[in-house]
Amino acid sequence: MKVYLAGPEVFLPDAAAIAAQKKQLCAQHGLEGIFPTDPRPHPAGEAGLARWYAIYLGNEADLRGCDALVANLTPFRGPSADPGTVYELGFVRALGRPALGYTNDARDFTDRTLHSLGGRTDRNEAGRLVDAAGMAIEEHGLADNLMIEGGIRAAGGLLVRHAVPEAALWSDLRGFEACLKALAAMRANG
């Protein structure tokens, strides 16, 4: 079973090392990890493409070629998960394949959003929490936006949520491994 390893780790200075760790954990669970920066053959038609578009096309091909996805949904550069990772999760969900995720920040999305707004919030006439522009803030007690968690649930997946020390935010792989165990069990149960 090929598993696409989605997440913002591609931006880390030690991206290759974390990719190797994740792929090793996949192998230990009888899975093949596919990391977004893995070398891949480049069809002749890609030669003239802009680099960013070639990366997109390669990642999309990898997503189509995988049987499942495990996404690192730890908040990245703001209160929510990396938007590229969220796109990939939705893409796999649309393909009807298993999608699982984990976050190393256990706080609710609402709390992280409020923190990012620096307390500049209020309640509207309907009692909904709103930001300074009057836009409603999600208050569902979820790890992230309801479409992310809903997509994982609808795919029969799992969202692992736990807190780790700040220094281990990008290196703690316990949530990742819990997803692999769940995926291996799904595969074993048919």
pLDDT tens readout for residues 113-170: 999 999 788 999 999 999 999 999 999 999 999 999 999 999 999 999 999 999 999 9
Q: Is the pTM of this model over 0.85?
A: yes
Domains along the chain with CATH numbers: 2-106+143-188 (3.40.50.450), 109-142 (no CATH)
CA nearest to 3, candidates 110, 98, 90, 140: 98
Task: Scan for tokens 């070629």, then name that residue.
Answer: 65
**Residues 173, 179: contact at Cβ < 8 Å?**
no
Q: Using CA atoms, how far apart are residues 66 and 176, in angstroms rounded to an integer?
A: 17
**Residues 71, 100: contact at Cβ < 8 Å?**
yes
Task: Scan for tokens 């809903």, then name that residue.
Answer: 150
pLDDT tens readout for residues 105-120: 999 999 999 999 997 8
Q: What is the 3-state secondary structure (H, E, C) of 133-147?
A: CCCECCCCCCCCCHH
